[in-house]
Amino acid sequence: MQNKIKRVAVFCSGGDAPGMNAAIRAVVRSATYRGLHIFGILRGYEGMIDGNINRLETKDVGNIIHRGGTVLKTARSKAFMTKSGRKKAYESLVAHDIDACIAIGGNGTLTGAQIFSKEYPIPMIGIPGTIDNDLFGSDYTIGFDTAINTAVEAVDKIRDTADSHNRLFFVEVMGRHSGFIALSTGIGSGSASVLIPEKETRISDLIKMLKKGSKRNKLFSLVIVAEGHHEGGAAAIAKKVNKDFDYYDTKVAIIGHLQRGGSPTAADRVLASRLGYGAIEALLNGEENVMVGVVNNKICYTPFKAAVNTEKSLDEDLMRMAEILAL
């Protein structure tokens, strides 16, 4: 495999995440150091289908490690979900003599890479780039640390106005299927409760908890809600609570896509750099169709099938601790 890999393409797909540029930089410079020719695919799988593939040099990734978003742009490709779309993508890679690809993205990105790798003989290496932190095979994903820091900073500001006005704030963070962002934001901001998709919390139980706080003359309260909670988003839950509990002036704040933007934290820059370097090393060591991750501070490789199909569970002890500290 080492002798076959000469020309490598890197791309981002799906939702953007702070730190993707740091990963691109690490891939390009590691590949160049190893004597490989490196190419960038603009707009992910969509760009692969269109043949939007350009050579990258070391100078092209200078001064990007601190930037949010992705210089290669990203997209969600419906065409790549079809056999005809993947065939066009393969033909584009062959036309540019690409020997292997490095995909930076989340579950959908790696699922696409897994399907493509079964159909065509081009090795794929995945790098977990998603703020959701929901990919099995890595303790953390690129963008997660930045996202929770952004969310906590926003909640800190909300806390100031909540305290001034005797208010109950429901703050919605991202997480359609996973509560990693909500749980860490809740702990980091000292919230009264965290509502996540993985745990069923009844409105009646939430009201009981809030009433306990009011009996202690608690002047304000913060509830962090993952957007995918079974009772609905922050607005829906606030409306349900307000019907039976009006002790506080209830408000809703949705942090939204602020969590995707901004300069990546040092932790995300270091993680992205390690994973980008690890992706090139994986290819040169004969690995293919795996995701590069960091587990217990060590680089490891997880097959795509396990990375996308194995549920990554929240730490139950962290959930219990969040409840105890909110008393």
Domain boundaries, the chain: 7-143+264-309, 144-260
Q: Which residue has the tokens 């896509």?
A: 257
Domain 7-143+264-309 and domain 144-260, same fold? Reply is yes
- Domain 144-260 sits in CATH 3.40.50.300: no
pLDDT value of position 161 = 86
For the record, the structure tokens of 196 come out as 């996540």
In terms of phi and psi (left: phi > 0; alpha: psi -120 to 50; beta: otherwise), the region of 275 is alpha
State how far the Cα of 21 lies from the Cα of 61, in Å rounded to an integer. 8
**Average confidence (pLDDT) per 10 residues, the chain, 327 residues:** 81 96 98 97 97 97 97 95 97 98 97 96 97 97 98 94 85 94 96 92 88 74 93 93 84 93 97 98 96 97 96 93 86
What is the predicted pLDDT for the residue at 201? 87
pLDDT given for residue 243 in this prediction: 86
Alpha helices in the chain (DSSP H): 20-33, 44-50, 83-95, 107-119, 144-165, 180-189, 203-215, 234-244, 266-284, 304-309, 316-325
Kindly give, in sequence order, each residue whose CB lies less than 8 Å from that of residue 101, ignoring residues fewer than 6 positions away: 8, 9, 10, 11, 41, 93, 113, 122, 123, 124, 125
Question: Are 56 and 39 a contacting pair, CB within 8 Å?
Answer: yes
Residue 198 CA, distance from chain mean position:
17
Burial 150-181, CB ≥16 within 10 A → b, else e: bbbebbeebbeebeeeebbbbbbbbbeebbbb
Which tokens sit at 233? Answer: 């988003």
Give me the amino acid identity at 168.
Answer: L
Distance CA 223, CA 159 (A): 11
Task: Indicate the fold that domain 7-143+264-309 takes in CATH.
Answer: Rossmann fold (3.40.50)
Output the pLDDT for position 219. Answer: 64
DSSP string covering 245-309: --SSEEEEEE-GGGGG-SPPPHHHHHHHHHHHHHHHHHHHTT--SEEEEEETTEEEEEEHHHHHH
Catalytic residues: 132
pLDDT of residue 1: 45
Q: What is the pLDDT of residue 217?
A: 67
Residue 172: C-alpha distances to residues 6, 155, 228, 272 (Å): 46, 10, 10, 27
